[in-house]
Structure 1
Amino acid sequence: MNDQPNMPDWNQMRALLATVETGSLSAAAKRLGLTQPTLGRQVAALEESLGLVIFERVGRSLVLTEAGQQLMTALREMGAAAERVTLSAAAQSQSIEGVVRITAADIYAGHVLPPVLEKIQAVAPAIRIEVLATGSISDLLRREADIAIRHVRPDQDGLIARRCKDTAAFVYGTPALLDRLGRPQTGDELARGKFVGPLQGNDDFIAEMARRGVKLGPENFPFATQSGMTGWEWVRRGMCLGAMVEAVARLTPEVTVAVPSIPPIPVPVWMVTHRELHTSRRIRLVFDMLVEFFS
């Protein structure tokens, strides 16, 4: 009969390591990109598989037991070993070189991409990243770009796409603008506001808002631009209201959600490349790192 404890999963051990290093389940979940309940289940599963009580709750704090403290020594060694593996893999990528062109909407290029571009450069410094901040699918079809970040699944021949984690968009405005609107609480009250829209029309956005009880018309859009960066700057300055994905709005402390009770608009994220280009080492590396970042 085998009396040995079950072999713990590395994800469970990584969850424990992050919890101790950050000091709380919530901070550890944020570091690892998990929800707090998911991370808590991983720590609990580790305790069960090892047959140990690792944490004791003291008020709202988690305190390592003596067994937990002994376990952390080995876990830190494992974490260091995992980091060495990552660095070794990165070193293997040093020989990958050349240009990789990414096309994305300008708002994504300016606000969302910088962290992953820095990571790609650190892993493969011989790769030159060129970003076409246009958001036009024709960039791929004309071979002006190798990889595209899109919010709709492309149906053109010769392209392959990976769906990443969906995001969501809310309507935002500055506190001063929302004060002038009387701090809207309902869709009807929000519909009194002025919005920025794209040059090519607002039909899709109007339909999405109508499904959420906000009835908008052409008169709600006195401002229009082809540039997401420009439109967002107008929103940040308090000129108008505007819809934006959470990832960008989080980086813009001047704005707030206009009516939090209105459900967000789901925004899918697709990573797209040419079928034959996906076999290129440098394009494959960048494509996979983008998928991981957006997932």
Structure 2
Amino acid sequence: MDWDKLRIFHAVADAGSLTHAGDTLHLSQSAVSRQIRALEESLGTTLFHRHARGLILTEQGELLFDATSSMARKLDSASARIRDSEENVLGELKVTTTVGFGTLWLAPRLAKLYETYPDLKIDLLLEERVLDLPMREADVAIRMKEPSQSDLIRRRLLNIRMRLYASQAYLDHAGAPATIADLASHRIICQKADQPQVAAGARLVQDVMAQNITSTLTVNNYFGVLQGVLANVGIGVLPDYLTADHPRLVRVLPDTESGEVPVFLAYPEELRQTRRVAVFRDFVLEEIQAYRRRQSEGALP
């Protein structure tokens, strides 16, 4: 097959439009259309259904698009490995993780990584949706559960728990609860149990809300919950990894916590030798080890 025609086909299939593909490839619509017709003639099949809303792949087109997508991923991986060297780490690294872990733990630590690799470009994708690593929606993921996708290298980083925290100023004013039933007289800050979050955290929120709580502040991410706690608004349900960077947090009801939540780092097998992935992985592991040392020394509650 003609590689250039396959490249144009892939762009059209990805965009769903001759015009948009032409813009990406810097070709006219007529030139793109001629290449697609020539490819269809060489294969003896129709690759697209022409529709008022755009182009839709035929069954044969879907098969070819699967093949060109795999080729594109391998070319991207090869290109990244070629650009990387022992001395320099260049280019973009797409990292996905949850909003809470990304904003509260990962982002504040990245300055150390940039000090060593100033030319690295990190695209931090913070969302609860699990991105497809084999399809290269991201290069590296840090997730609160073991990835189920195949062909991934994965490493368990640590286990976390959701616990109750407040500021000392709030407890001085409102008093410290002695039992979980005492929470009824306090304001609770948390995510709603039906919002995207780890199941263990949602169950802890349900247990807390079962105590006839009359005043609440609900926020759709842990960053907002943390800000409410630090501002003396109430008692918050937060992940325990926050205590490393926020010593003002005071643990409330030490016997009340969620089950363990595993945190995994994962990336595609094909990126195993990519320097950008390797230096990011090693950086995260070093930061996790430093966190664990502080835990073992009794510095963290």
Q: TM-score range by the shorter chain?
A: 0.5 to 0.7
Q: CA deviation at 1:215?
A: 5.2
Counterpart of 1:258 in structure 2 is 252
**Higher strand fraction (1 or 2):** 2
Q: TM-score, normalised by structure 2?
A: 0.56
Counterpart of 1:107 in structure 2 is 100
Distance 1:263 1:228, change over 3 A: closer
Q: CA deviation at 1:292?
A: 3.2
Distance 1:182 1:116, change over 3 A: closer
The 5-angstrom pairing of residues 94-243 of structure 1 reads 94-114=87-107, 116-138=109-131, 140=133, 143-179=136-172, 181-190=174-183, 192-199=185-192, 201=194, 204-205=200-201, 207-208=203-204, 216-217=209-210, 220=213, 222-243=216-237
Q: CA deviation at 1:253?
A: 4.4
Contact 1:102–1:129 (CA under 8 A) maintained in structure 2: yes
Distance 1:122 1:273 in 2: 23
Contact 1:206–1:216 (CA under 8 A) maintained in structure 2: no
Distance 1:189 1:145 in 2: 44
- 1:225-244 CA-to-partner distances (Å, cap 9, x unmatched) read 32221222122222232222
Q: CA deviation at 1:172?
A: 0.5
- 1:107-127 CA-to-partner distances (Å, cap 9, x unmatched) read 332332246423322333322
Q: Which has the larger radius of gyration?
A: 2
Contact 2:200–2:260 (CA under 8 A) maintained in structure 1: no
Contact 1:173–1:242 (CA under 8 A) maintained in structure 2: yes
Distance 1:193 1:277, change over 3 A: farther
Distance 2:170 2:208 in 1: 19
RMSD of aligned alpha carbons: 3.2
Range 145-154 or range 272-281, more displaced: 272-281
Contact 1:194–1:241 (CA under 8 A) maintained in structure 2: yes
Contact 1:105–1:228 (CA under 8 A) maintained in structure 2: no
Distance 2:146 2:250 in 1: 30
Counterpart of 2:261 in structure 1 is 267
Q: TM-score, normalised by structure 1?
A: 0.57
Query: Share of identical aligned residues, percent?
Result: 23
Q: Does residue 245 of the first structure (1) align with residue 239 of the second (2)?
A: yes
Contact 2:180–2:211 (CA under 8 A) maintained in structure 1: no
Distance 1:231 1:141 in 2: 33
Contact 1:106–1:135 (CA under 8 A) maintained in structure 2: yes
Q: CA deviation at 1:200?
A: 5.9
Counterpart of 1:289 in structure 2 is 283
Distance 2:275 2:129 in 1: 25
- 1:181-230 CA-to-partner distances (Å, cap 9, x unmatched) read 531112222354343333562774353478xxx55339648433322212
Distance 2:203 2:258 in 1: 13
Number of residues paired by the alignment?
201
- Specify every segment of 5 or more residues in structure 2 that has no aligned partner in the other structure, as ranges: 1-84, 290-301
Q: CA deviation at 1:264?
A: 6.4
- Specify every segment of 5 or more residues in structure 1 that has no aligned partner in the other structure, as ranges: 1-91
Distance 2:258 2:190 in 1: 17
Counterpart of 1:4 in structure 2 is none
